[in-house]
Amino acid sequence: QLEFFTGYSLALTQIGSLNIILFLMAVALVTSLLAGLYPSLFISSLHPEKALKANINTSTGSIPVRKILVVFQFVVSEVLIIGTIIVYNQLNYLQDVDMGFDKTSVLELSLPDDEETTLKRFKDQLLNNSSIENVTFSNTGTASPNTWGGDIDVFLSEDIIQFLSQIKFTDEDFIDTYKIELLAGENFNINSSDTTFIVNQTFIEKMGLKNDYLSAIGTNVKIWGRKGKIIGVVKDFNTTSLVDEVSPVIISTSRRLYNLAGIKLNIANVKDAVEYIEEVFAIVYPDFVIDYEFLDKTIEQFYEDEILFSRLMVSFSLISIFIGCLGIFGLSAFLALNRTKEIGIRKVLGASSVSIVKLLSADLLKLVLIASIVAWPVAYYFMQKWIENFAYRIPIGWEIFFSGGMITVLIALVAISYNAIKASIANPIKSIRYE
């Protein structure tokens, strides 16, 4: 249903949290109607003379019930505020974290065919332009939801082990184009055969060698029936969303499995470079329509579900805050009316308007503080469950909860201040006379 209204489908990692938020919003709406609208309707139904004399006959326990409802709706509001802060910070972290390769000004272009002479002609023509720094071919994008994989046989000195690994087929320019760090051994060259392999750190760990990268050089491995040797080890790089941990990756060369071109552009001439690429593509592949995407945009698309989730959190937070303000506004008006005579007497005895505002605000702010005490462990529990779905995540520190509490207090102060200030500047003689 959400997909129908928003155009996106939420991943399973968010569905549980979303259901919780929807439930809390529904409950908050009901309690707000009870805690906020009821006092307002009650006051508006009073005869003006009775209202001025503060002759309100409240049933036993009615005010405590309203206070409990206000506390509950501010618990919901603060949980959503804290949740929004955490989701926002996590999204920023995912988009800024180093993925182990350079994603700046890299354009990835789908190749219509993998014919070797055509690919060479395409690359050579692209590199004739100074706005293009490097070009590489591979079977899939550097970071892509579509990865190839299979069982790898590793021939150790005394044993043969097998484990699942991602498999990438690239040319000799892949590592240089994406600026992936080479930790040991050597890179491919133009004469490298398809029986030479480069692996990442996680692959080495699967071999049981941990950080002993040099010992892995020369090890025999077999993928899809093809046997060869490891010639290099690269630093781990993320090939999928940061929701997932880094997988073992083995890289090989191949002249017939290239589906994609990775093109590193000069950041100062991106527009000119793109126009030139389009021109060259039209010449080399006249029967095909060019299809490309910048790598950083591709990576952003990994987190469409999380971005939508954050927008929903913000929307729900704003709605909940608005409803919470209605509740505490109604309750503050109700309490101020009940204390009309007391306020009048205090002012006659010399109380300042500031002290009256403090008097009326204190009890209600206590409710907000109680709401914070309840909201913090609730928010921590649910948001910890949500963030555990990410292999790479921010720590949930105390400052997030403090910020959420301060935002809630400030919002409550704004909602309370109107009725408090109104009561503090009222004519005390009238308040006492009509009592």
pLDDT digits (tens, 9 = 90+) for 89-111: 998 898 888 899 999 899 999 99
Question: What length is written for the chain?
Answer: 435
Contacts of residue 215, defined as CB under 8 A and 6 or more positions apart, other chains included, come to 209
Higher-pLDDT residue of 309, 339: 309
Instruction: Write the DSSP string, 76-118.
Output: HHHHHHHHHHHHHHHHHHHHHS--SS--TTEEEEE-S---HHH
Place of tokens 């469409």: 304
Higher-pLDDT residue of 7, 93: 93
Sequence letter at residue 212: D
Instruction: Write the DSSP string, 131-198.
Output: TEEEEEEESS-SS-S---EEEEEEE-SS-EEEEEEEEEEE-TTHHHHTTPPEEEE----TT--TTEEE
CA 50/CA 7 separation, integer angstroms:
54
Output the pLDDT for position 12. 40
Taking each helix axis from N to C end, the angle separating 62-96 and 353-387, rounded to the nearest 10 degrees, works out to 50
Please check whether residue 236 is in contact with residue 201, taking contact to mean a CB–CB distance below 8 angstroms. yes
**Nearest residue to 101 via CA among 156, 142, 67:** 142
Output the pLDDT for position 339. 66
- 185: phi > 0 → left, psi -120 to 50 → alpha, else beta; which? left
CA 21/CA 200 separation, integer angstroms:
40
Please check whether residue 428 is in contact with residue 344, taking contact to mean a CB–CB distance below 8 angstroms. yes
pLDDT digits (tens, 9 = 90+) for 357-408: 677 777 778 888 898 999 999 999 999 998 988 888 999 999 999 998 898 8
Output the pLDDT for position 248. 93
Whether residue 46 is predicted with pLDDT greater than 50 in this model: the reply is no
Instruction: Work out the mean pLDDT of the chain and round it to a whole number.
Output: 80
Output the pLDDT for position 26. 63
pLDDT digits (tens, 9 = 90+) for 232-268: 999 999 988 888 889 999 999 987 789 899 999 998 8
As a whole number of angstroms, the longest Cα–Cα distance in the chain is 102
Whether residue 37 is predicted with pLDDT greater than 70 in this model: the reply is no
Please check whether residue 411 is in contact with residue 80, taking contact to mean a CB–CB distance below 8 angstroms. no
H-type alpha helices, 7-47:
12-32, 38-44
